[in-house]
Structure 1
Amino acid sequence: MTRKYGERAASLRKVFEAAPEEEMTHQVLFERMGVASVGQADERTNIRNALPALVRCGYVLKKGLGPDATYRHSGKVKRPKAAAPRVRQRSALDRASRLVRTRAARVELQAANTPVPAKPKAVESGETVEQFEARGGRVEVLPTFWGRAAA
């Protein structure tokens, strides 16, 4: 969610927290947020676009569809953001050894996945037509158009 939508969602949460048991339509939300006047159609559209995110996270319950939809606070509170975890300072030696380990793992994986070249098959020597006929084979000559042209 972008910063603008985050701020809009925060103001929507305040409206829902102010009236936790009340079911509100789009029009009621627009009036409470002060954007019901004629020149603020873009802001109303942005509010309608921010509502589904609040519904997905379970902060708001939606009932109905389209202009008849009503929204109500679910009672769920927004969790505060956790403090950023402390990052351990790595020494140059730690970074270098980690890099070596990852490179070694990549090379090992690449070696395992590289196909082994197949051994070339020994070429069996075929027999000539004369050897085939000597063995008792019969060769059938099929007529061709270029064979007729030479004759």
Structure 2
Amino acid sequence: MSESKKTCADQVRAAFDQAPAEGLSYAGLYEKLAADGMDTGKAKDRINSSLRYLVARGYLLRTGEREHAMFRRSGTAMARPRLTESQRAERTKAKNRRRVERARAARGVTVGLRAAMIPKPVRAAPTAQPVFETFEQWKARGGKVERLTAAWERPG
């Protein structure tokens, strides 16, 4: 079974072209597309997106809300906006600029994450510095020296 080369929007437009005078509801459109071989279960979001786009471009008119909405052709052709070379170049520059900014921002996030993974150096609590005094100062404070006898000086 070969896949159709038509996009979802092309298939939606073709469904409305087959019945230009009548309006189609969501259910009617899904039935028509299913009859043409489209898997409407998988393509539901794309179909709804195509409908919103076609209404916004003025190709379709919508009446009603939610499940009671009816769509019909407005009679105007599907016009695509044509850009001049300068407009196209400006759009390309803006697109590239946004792409570079996104990449730079992503790198910044990565660097930040890596920096967060580096352990911080542990700082030891400041210890009390020992107070040094000389032997003479200790003796002057009243320190007494004990003399222990060595093993060879002990009797017997």
Normalised to the residue count of structure 2, the TM-score between the two structures is 0.43
Normalised to the residue count of structure 1, the TM-score between the two structures is 0.44
Larger radius of gyration: 2
